[in-house]
Chains A and B, each alone.
Chain A
Amino acid sequence: MALLEVENLRIEIPGRRGTLVAVDDVSFSIGEGEVLGVVGESGAGKSLTGAAVIGLLEPPCRIAGGQIRFDGRRIDNLPYEKLRRIRGRHIGMVFQDPLTSLNPLYTVGRQLTETILTHTDLSEKGARKRAIELLQEVGIPAAERRVDQYPHEFSGGMRQRVVIALALCANPRLIIADEPTTALDVSIQAQIITLLKRLCREHGAAVMLVTHDMGVIAETADRVAVMYAGRIAEVGPVAEVVLRAKHPYTEGLMGSIPLVGHDVEQLTQIDGSMPRLNAIPPGCAFNPRCPKAFERCRRQRPELAPVDGAGAEASWTACWLYDDAAQRSGTDG
């Protein structure tokens, strides 16, 4: 049984012109200690999915269907208090902007000790010691001195390390990271990615890494889910998805990323743009832009089906091109 199971998740945004479906029948799971990357461009619904898992969906967005199970128990329908206790203790969060993730009015140490005291049985002194330990773990030099400094006294990269320390405070089993490196310089990004990977491995925490940056995914994730227009286009081991993409969207996406050493005159271009939520085409959401689309793609929405591999190494894709392949691999096992 996986640590986190998301099944047929549906997120709607009621508006005055009708209800928009931002996330439409999305299912995936994360095993213990596994890093799942959820990648997609703006408007794909990946941030909303992450928010839904933690229970931080901002109204009027709401979960309109499906289930989210953590450790076998449903968490999407829990009352606020129960969810709050699971958050922080079992699920930690790392957000994009370290400036707003940390309270500017409290010292870093106070924020850390507060979280530690809430979720563990340590004393004040024990909590402070643990806070300093955590700061050292995330690579903050002179941690005993810096534990009493305010967030604005840290640089961007340092702040993000503090946020990671905060997320790991209570030894959560799952960390949801939403664009953790987007606001950082490229050399700092590399540091933070390495840190996150190492720490999660050491603490045994699973990670749901939501980002638009394929490079971060390639370095960090074990498996990756590619989202498009609120749906999952493809899920699979990261090497498979990055190097041998099955879904035409993923193929186009990977081809449009420039690579150092790769000399091409023109990058692979997917014409048009992701449809707005109120203009999602019938059938497969990608069909108007897909170079391989055929009749069935325009009529019927493809289901996410296994295509290759087995178990944790399985590749799934939602594309009619693989329909026969999917059926074959389904009978095989």
Chain B
Amino acid sequence: MAEAPARARREDDLLVEVEHLAKLFDVSPPFLNRLLQGEKRVLLTAVDDVSFRIPRGKTFSLVGESGCGKSTVARLVVGLHRPTRGRIVFEGVDMAGLEGRGEAGPLRKRLQMIFQDPYASLNPRWRVADIIAEPIRAHRLVSGRRAIAARVGELLEQVGLAAADGEKFPHEFSGGQRQRISIARALASNPEFLVCDEPTSALDVSVQAQILNLMKSLQRELGLTYLFISHDLAVVYHISDYVGVMYLGRLVEWGEAKALFRRPQHPYTRMLLDAIPDLEMTGRARTPVAGEVPSPIAPPSGCHFHPRCPFAEERCRREAPQALATAAGEVSCHAVAEGRLPEVERAARAPAGED
């Protein structure tokens, strides 16, 4: 079945565009130490020239292992860090300078964030109703205590809790319920765009299912656009329209989700997919996985993945690959560009339970 070419997406209504985004952190030893011990400045490249686009109403996921920079990208998009280079465009408007502004600018209420840790993302000293009402009050969306209380009750019910839960404190709720409260808080300012940083990684699998189902139905109901960060490929498969794979700060491949999972191009993507445990007990053979993720402070030269790549050649050590268009999206790999990579087709699985 022919896939719609990647170009067609440019005509889609794009809500968020990230262009050549880069973020460097200064992790040098303190000034005095550098002076006295002659140590150099140490810069950590957390995000290195990342570009992608998110059409309105869709879910774009960033997936990768620790140190790949996906959480940093999330924080850059939402304004918690200022980019070192590159820009983030929200509905055609450059978001530069959003980080410095303290007041709730008009752009801030249109994008919100959901965090990974359900225990640290709610202020333990505040009542749930106050936590959810904070964005409402900050953006002055509704005024008057009764109106605010009514709206908070509405939001709580929308995420599957009871209006009366507003009177309780966060510690009275379970992890899954706290994530629901976080979602309610994020929805309080009527946003269009939600950045979700591993929202289900800290939850039990059955609770994760509830939250993922909730997020999907909210997306349908409210027309939300998601940037979803995760390390769990199965979750990403389930929830995404588009997927981007990151490794040591670079976007090695991105594309339409089903196509990317069926025909992964980049060797790292293939390795990740092979590493998923075999829950269907097919006894599939696994290619042995080599090495570990190197430290992001001193990444390998050229293509960062070359030490672990079975297809690496001399060029891969010298030169960082450029993004190459594919049927589903883009991939950055010399082996793909040179046609050295064997095609791989992963069959779609039958649903569990059928033999």
Contact = CB atoms under 8 A, between A and B. Distances in A.
Q: Is there a contact between chains A and B in the complex with CB atoms less than 8 Å apart?
A: yes
Interface of A: 41-42, 155-158, 185-191, 193-194, 212-216, 218-219, 238-239, 242-244, 252-271, 273-274
A212 B205 CA distance: 8
Interface stretch (B146-154, B184-192, B343-351): B343-351
Interface string B252-293: 000000100100000000011111111111000010110011
Contacts of A270: 206, 209-210
B213 interface: yes
Contacts of A268: 209
B326 interface: no
Given A269-B206, A273-B177, 13 more contacts: A42-B175, A186-B232, A187-B292, A188-B292, A214-B205, A218-B279, A252-B206, A256-B206, A257-B205, A259-B279, A259-B280, A266-B213, A268-B209
Contact of B216 (A253, A254, A262, A265): A265
Interface stretch (B38-46, B96-104, B127-135, B234-242): B234-242
A187 B275 contact: yes
Given A186-B231, A187-B289, A261-B348, A256 B209 contact: yes
Contacts of A214: 205, 277, 279
Nearest to B346: A261
Interface of B: 65-66, 174-177, 204-210, 212-213, 216-217, 231-235, 237-239, 258, 261, 271-281, 286, 288-289, 292-293, 346-349, 351-353, 355
A200 B239 CA distance: 37
Contact of A258 (B212, B272, B273, B347): B212
Contacts of A260: 233-234, 237, 261, 273, 276, 349
Contact of B292 (A155, A257, A273): A155
Given A254-B352, A259-B349, A187 B204 contact: no
Contact of B279 (A242, A263, A265): A242
B276 A215 contact: yes
A271 B211 CA distance: 11
Given A158-B292, A190-B275, A218-B277, A262 B174 contact: no
| A-B pairs, 10 with minimum CB distance | A215-B277, A256-B209, A261-B349, A258-B238, A41-B204, A267-B209, A185-B65, A190-B275, A258-B234, A260-B237
Residue among A156, A238, A256 with max Cβ neighbours from chain B (10 Å) = A256
B204, B271, B272, B278 — most chain A CB neighbours (10 Å)? B204
Contacts of A254: 279, 352
A220 to B, nearest CB: 9
A178 B344 CA distance: 36
Contacts of A213: 277
Nearest to B175: A42
Contacts of B281: 218, 238-239, 242-243
B289 A262 contact: no
B216 A266 contact: yes
Given A190-B275, A257-B234, A41 B293 contact: no
B103 to A, nearest CB: 39
B1 to A, nearest CB: 14
A60 to B, nearest CB: 21
A268 B205 CA distance: 11
Contacts of A218: 277-279, 281
A90 to B, nearest CB: 29
B212 to A, nearest CB: 6
Given A258-B234, A267-B213, A267-B238, A186 B65 contact: yes
Contact of B275 (A189, A212, A264): A189
A313 to B, nearest CB: 15
Contacts of A191: 289
A186 B353 contact: no
Contacts of B239: 258
B277 A41 contact: no
A5 B195 CA distance: 49
Contacts of A257: 205, 209, 234, 279
B209 A261 contact: no
22 contacts: A186-B231, A187-B271, A187-B275, A187-B292, A194-B286, A213-B277, A218-B277, A239-B281, A242-B279, A243-B281, A243-B352, A256-B206, A257-B209, A259-B349, A260-B233, A261-B237, A261-B347, A264-B238, A266-B216, A269-B209, A270-B209, A273-B176
A157 B281 CA distance: 25
B175 to A, nearest CB: 8
Nearest to A289: B206
A259 B352 contact: yes
B206 A41 contact: yes
